[in-house]
Amino acid sequence: MLQDVLRQIEQHQRFVLTSHARPDGDAIGSALACCQVLRAMGKQADVVLHDGVPRIYRSLPFADQVVQSSRVQGSYEAAIILECDSIHRTRLEGLENRFLISIDHHVSGRPFAHVNWIDPHAVATAEMVFRLAREAGVKFSPEIATCLYTALMTDTGSFMFQGTNENTFALARELVLAGADPAHCARGIYFAHSAAKLRLLGEALRNLNQEAHLGWVWITQKQMERCGAKEEDCEGLVNYVLSIGEVEVAAFFRELPDGRYRVSLRSKGKLDVSDVAESFGGGGHQCASGCSVDGPLADAVRQVLSQLRRGPSVQ
């Protein structure tokens, strides 16, 4: 698998890299690092993202070179799609007729590309990019290490999520030795929010609901407008619900402009939320998944909660 990806990299010269729309830390960090790895291998590489780089990731090395576009143009011979289970989720046009390489660590990862390297045992896609670089003999610059460390830190919930193990810390150690500064990386992510995001958090927590081990909140388009918040400001709000002691599973509903709802699901580990997200056409991991459901709000909440209630009983 890794060898197939390396062989294809050797056989092509010009690459475009991308990930899913509304990119998270692993999507951004892995794409930026992989781009630098390719360049270190003498290849031409660019990162194109439908939504660009969210504010908290803009201080990452080379983030300013990311092209925000809804279309891939140019004479790229191959596309590397990271942390994403379909062309559709990139929301990019112009990928269909290119040679596609997928690198993903999701359990729900599907082989949609010409070459698919899917490893659900990897704690983050960043771990796979790390292995790719090491196998290719690329030296880990402080810039590559910073991007990979940030991806690892965010995708493991600051080394707190299920799945974090001794290998995660061994990888973090390698990255710190290569020049990633943990305090600097953490500061860029956790102390770099907009005031609008905090106002939005206030709105969301006003709508806090709890039923036994389930907790949920929602945000409407009107509330987002009132707070001057953007889509990316909703990122991570679900974790505040999960921080309640009795809550085992948290759900966050965000109204979309078309009246549907984006749902973020988080679990402390006793209930697999990827099953629930997949039952609505979404996906993700056992402890973090997402999907979209039809509105209005009451219907969206009812549908998702009825699936969550079916999960194994929590002691």
Encoded one letter per residue, x for contact with ligand 5GP by CB under 6 A and - for no contact, window 291-310 reads x-------------------
289 binds ligand 5GP (CB under 6 A): yes
Please work out the total of residues on this chain that contact ligand 5GP, with binding judged by CB under 6 A. Answer: 13
23 binds ligand 5GP (CB under 6 A): no
Contact 229, 266 (CB under 8 A): no
Measured from the CB of residue 252, what is the shortest distance to ligand 5GP in angstroms? 7
Between 215 and 284, CB nearer to ligand 5GP: 284
DSSP state of 157: T
Window 73 to 92, contacts with ligand 5GP (CB under 6 A): 85
Contact 145, 180 (CB under 8 A): yes
* Interface residue with ligand 5GP, options 151, 288, 301, 304 (CB under 6 A): 288
290 binds ligand 5GP (CB under 6 A): yes
Measured from the CB of residue 8, what is the shortest distance to ligand 5GP in angstroms? 24
Task: Look at residue 55 and give its three-state secondary structure.
Answer: helix
Contact 105, 118 (CB under 8 A): yes
From CA 315, how far away is CA 309, in angstroms rounded?
Answer: 14
54 binds ligand 5GP (CB under 6 A): no
From CA 60, how far away is CA 200, in angstroms rounded?
Answer: 25
* Interface residue with ligand 5GP, options 25, 29, 163, 283 (CB under 6 A): 283
Q: CB-hemisphere CA count at 13 Å for 249? A: 31
Measured from the CB of residue 248, what is the shortest distance to ligand 5GP in angstroms? 17
From CA 200, how far away is CA 196, in angstroms rounded?
Answer: 6
Task: Look at residue 94 and give its three-state secondary structure.
Answer: coil
Cβ atoms within 10 Å of 253's Cβ, excluding its own: 23
Between 27 and 180, CB nearer to ligand 5GP: 27
State the residues that interact with ligand 5GP by CB under 6 A: 20, 24, 85, 108, 264, 282-285, 288-291
